[in-house]
Amino acid sequence: MAVTVWAAILAVAACATPASPPVAPATRPAVLVTAAPVWRPGDRWEYAWRSGAEAATRSIEVLEIKEINGLSYYLLRAGDLEHLWTPELGWAGSVRNQRIEARMTPPTPLFVWPLEPGRRWQHRGTYEDRSGRKPVRDSFLVVGVETVEVPAGRFQAFKVVRETDSRDSDQYWYAPEVGFYVKWAGRRGDVEFEEELRAYHRAPRLIPDSRPEVPSRTP
């Protein structure tokens, strides 16, 4: 993938909108994730996807870490698309066959860190694809920590909800052990979909990532 293609995606990108302070609970929650996971080339997640009567599987894999305009991005492959994510897990753009498919300015912060129940943040940006440009206004909330059972196992996961100024919405569950979401339920217009983790593989680490004190998968 030519660096110039990705540079074109990010030429007008700015830093993500600063997150608003966490909602102050009566007592500090006992569970939180202090920092974004560290992804490595070779990390891979496989999902079962369904929407109505349609069903399929898809795989997301970290290909490499790219330096573009002095900033680092994860390059991920999902089907015939490649995506750029920030180290904080914000989505910046995608390419298909070395052609820009879409981009978000600034990148969408799907998570903020530390991640903890009650945390809220907003994103104001511009989404651009071949059909044109449109403003984006998203609001996020960490609802809490839930036990989620998917084909890959049972996990303690942080449930995040996203609301927009359109009919689009998302609910997704982030599991620290997996380093990504284990379940995603969303709506795009009148179409609803759901993804569940089937399997995952974390590339070997010489120095293990630090882990928050969150119960891991139940056998």
> Residue 105's pLDDT is what?
96
With a cut of 50, say whether residue 6 has pLDDT above it: yes
Using CA atoms, how far apart are residues 214 and 210, in angstroms rounded to an integer?
A: 12
> Residue 32's pLDDT is what?
85
> Residue 28's pLDDT is what?
42
**pTM of the model as a whole:** 0.82
Tokens coding 11? 């030429």
Mean pLDDT estimate for the chain: 86
Lowest mean pLDDT among 95-104, 151-160, 192-201: 95-104
Could you tell me which residue, 25 or 172, shows the higher pLDDT? 172
Q: What percent of the chain has pLDDT over 90?
A: 70
> Residue 7's pLDDT is what?
58
Nearest to 49 by CA among 40, 58, 41: 58
Q: What is the mean pLDDT of residues 17-31?
A: 47
Q: What is the mean pLDDT of residues 123-132?
A: 95
With a cut of 70, say whether residue 66 has pLDDT above it: yes
> Residue 11's pLDDT is what?
58
Using CA atoms, how far apart are residues 130 and 122, in angstroms rounded to an integer?
A: 25
